[in-house]
Amino acid sequence: MKIPEKILFSKEQIENRIRELVSSIAEDFRDREIVIVGILKGSFIFLADLVRLMYEYNIHPQVDFMILSSYGGSTYPSTMVKIERDLSISVEGKAVLVVDDILDTGRTMQYVKERLRWLEPEIVRTCVLLDKPARRIVDITPDYTGFQIEDEFVVGFGLDYNGFHREKPYIAVIQNPESAD
Ligand code: IMP
Ligand code: MG
């Protein structure tokens, strides 16, 4: 599968930005019991970098994951978000940081925040590597954002197109994914 791509953010740019994010997160979350909630699959690489840097800032979170389905192989979001895997550790009274690869329509993050409210955490903050505000449907702004991007379909650093490209160490725009093989 060979698709033309344009690199938006290099490995070094992403590394530097993640370090800045962790520095502000560390300041805001200090002395709290923290649970990082990763939204799979897209967040796994970003989250792994975040938590490893947290160690350097003397932050020692628990980590859990949720799997939600909303895309189903297309670049267009479906109207439904469904929980495929829920949290398995308690977040009651704790500080929760929800981590995702990208905030697009906002439906996924909104759904996760509603789900979390039932579990009575002390605070919930959201952290995304990328924010694509042009396509927002739900009124939601991430607390920590790596980079804002235009209305383009991107892959790499955990983000996929049809399950591929997640391993790329950079973020790239792929042209016209719908017509790709
Ligand atoms: P939302 O619910 O529309 O905000 O969608 C969030 C999810 O859509 C993300 O977790 C991604 O999995 C997926 N997504 C949105 N935009 C892109 C993109 O440009 N590239 C790859 N995945 C995307
Ligand atoms: Mg995702």
Q: Which residues are catalytic?
A: 104
Hey, where are the domains in the chain? 12-152
Q: Which atom of ligand 1 is nearest to the CA of 149?
A: 19
Region at 120 (left for phi over 0; alpha for psi -120 to 50; beta for the rest): left
Topology (CATH level 3) of domain 12-152: Rossmann fold (3.40.50)
Give ion ligand 2 contacts, CB < 5 A: 42
Q: For residue 1, how far is its CA from the centre of ligand 1 (angstroms)? A: 21
Q: How confident is the model at residue 179 (pLDDT cuts 50, 70, 90)?
A: low
Say which residue, 74 or 46, is predicted with more confidence: 46
Q: Is 128 in the pocket of ligand 1 (CB under 6 A)?
A: no
Task: Give φ, ψ of 143 to 5 degrees.
Answer: -75, -35
Q: Is 98 in the pocket of ligand 1 (CB under 6 A)?
A: no
Q: Is 44 in the pocket of ligand 1 (CB under 6 A)?
A: no
Say which residue, 79 or 63, is predicted with more confidence: 63
Pick the ligand that lies closest to the CA of residue 152.
1
DSSP letter (8 states) at residue 34: E
Task: Report d(CA 54, CA 170) in Å as an integer.
Answer: 21
Q: For residue 31, how far is its CA from the centre of ligand 1 (angstroms)? A: 32
Q: Is 43 in the pocket of ligand 1 (CB under 6 A)?
A: no
16 has a pLDDT exceeding 70:
yes
Q: What is the pTM of this model?
A: 0.92
74 has a pLDDT exceeding 90:
no
Q: How confident is the model at residue 110 (pLDDT cuts 50, 70, 90)?
A: very high
Mean pLDDT of the chain: 92
